[in-house]
Amino acid sequence: MANDSASKLTNELRYDGRVAIVTGAGNGLGRAHALLLGARGAKVVVNDLGGDIHGGGKSSAAADQVVAEIKAAGGSAVASYDSVEDGAQIVQAALDHFGRVDIVINNAGILRDSSFVKMSADDWDLIYRVHVLGAFRVTHAAWPHMRNQGYGRIIMTTSAAGIYGNFGQANYSMAKMGLIGMANTLAIEGAAKNVLVNTIAPLAGSRISETVMPPQMLEALKPEYVAPLAAYLCHESSKENGSLFEVGAGFHAKLRWERTRGRHFQGQAFGPEEVAQRWQEIVDFDDATYPRNIGESLMSIVQGVDSSFGQGKP
């Protein structure tokens, strides 16, 4: 038993000397991220505006409580009460208190659920501003510091609603899918400077999920079951980059794009009738491909054009 304990201690992933920003860290997932990183040696900026799940109000209590928990456990943390729309101020808090920023977990979020026919412009705009614009502003402020020091780990938080769609969440789905696209591009741009960017789609009990999940499901979906994946992706030993993960209730899985072989209409005029005729080939996933980047995506199209040039039949 002693040997097992020693082995676990030796293999523990630590974040000593690292500075982490966690947005929306006053409750739920953000709190779980902040507490785990703080317990493993990271200095944590606990950011939370302290508003409700619909984006209203403001309070310092939530962030202060998490800071107090981290300090009580022997860690180091400071509170930030700024909106993520003021991302530069959140990053400045990390620089002022700890002198650097190594990790950003963009977790802050709200809901404004409504069927599309009833959705207001304010419902759309506020979701965009908190989820997408907020993540941009925090990340954009941290980006040059990470590039200059040759190290950074960034997590975007998406949702199954963004990946698959969900009734009544057109605004939320838009924002969450947008974060995946932003993360994928930042992963490409940051790789040479060891700034790695990944996206998680968590399923966990929170103030947001309370509105859409039954109590028995919430009980099984502890935020603590999500935080270890986020923490691993933020560790210096992880080289994962540009990836998307679904995680919750102890389940961890990586997602990737899948595409059919498709059908080339080889250089001659064609119309909807020809598309209809070949429809089963266009939608057949039995022999699927898995493009990993934009180059692989375009290559199969270009190769198809090259190989078909001059041929007369579809």
- 135: nearest Cα among 191, 185, 67, 99: 185
Evaluate whether 49 touches 100 at the Cβ level (below 8 Å): no
Give the span between the Cα atoms of 106 and 29, in whole angstroms: 11
81 is catalytic: no
Active-site option among 151, 172, 225, 232: 172
The residues that are catalytic are 172
